[in-house]
Homo-oligomer: A and B are copies of this chain.
Amino acid sequence: MRARPYHHGDLRAALLSLAEQTLRERGPAELSLRELAREAGVSPAAPSRHFKTKQALLDALALEGFQRLTTALDASLERAGEAFGDRLSGLARTYLDFAITNTALLDLMYGRKHDPDATAELVAATHRLKNLATDLIESGQRGGQVRPGPVERQAVPLMVALQGLTALALTGGFTQEQLDQGVDETIAFILRGYAP
A-B contact pairs, 22 of them (CB 8 A): A107-B111, A110-B171, A114-B170, A114-B173, A123-B173, A126-B173, A152-B178, A153-B181, A157-B189, A159-B164, A160-B160, A160-B165, A160-B167, A160-B186, A161-B164, A164-B164, A164-B165, A189-B193, A189-B194, A192-B192, A192-B193, A193-B193
Count identical subunits in the complex: 2
User: Which 3 pairs between the two chains have the least Cβ-Cβ distance?
Assistant: A164-B164, A160-B164, A163-B167
A12 interfacial contact with B, CB 8 Å: no
Whether A161 pairs with B161 at a CB distance below 8 angstroms is yes
Contacting residues, chain B, for A160 (C-beta < 8 A): 160-161, 164-165, 167-168, 182, 186
- A159 in contact with B168 given A189-B193, A193-B190 (CB within 8 Å): yes
Q: Tell me if A30 is interfacial: C-beta within 8 Å of chain B.
A: no
Q: How large is the interface on A (under 10, 10 to 19, 20 to 34, 35 or more residues)?
A: 35 or more
Q: Are B173 and A156 in contact (CB under 8 A)?
A: no
On whether the beta carbons of A153 and B185 are closer than 8 Å, the reply is: yes
Which residues from 77 to 128 on chain A have a C-beta closer than 8 Å to any C-beta of chain B?
A: 107, 110-111, 113-115, 123, 126
**Smallest CB gap from A103: residue in B:** B114
A162 at the interface (CB under 8 A from B): yes
Interface residues of A (CB under 8 A from B): 27, 107, 110-111, 113-115, 123, 126, 152-154, 156-157, 159-165, 167-168, 170-173, 178, 181-182, 185-186, 189-190, 192-194
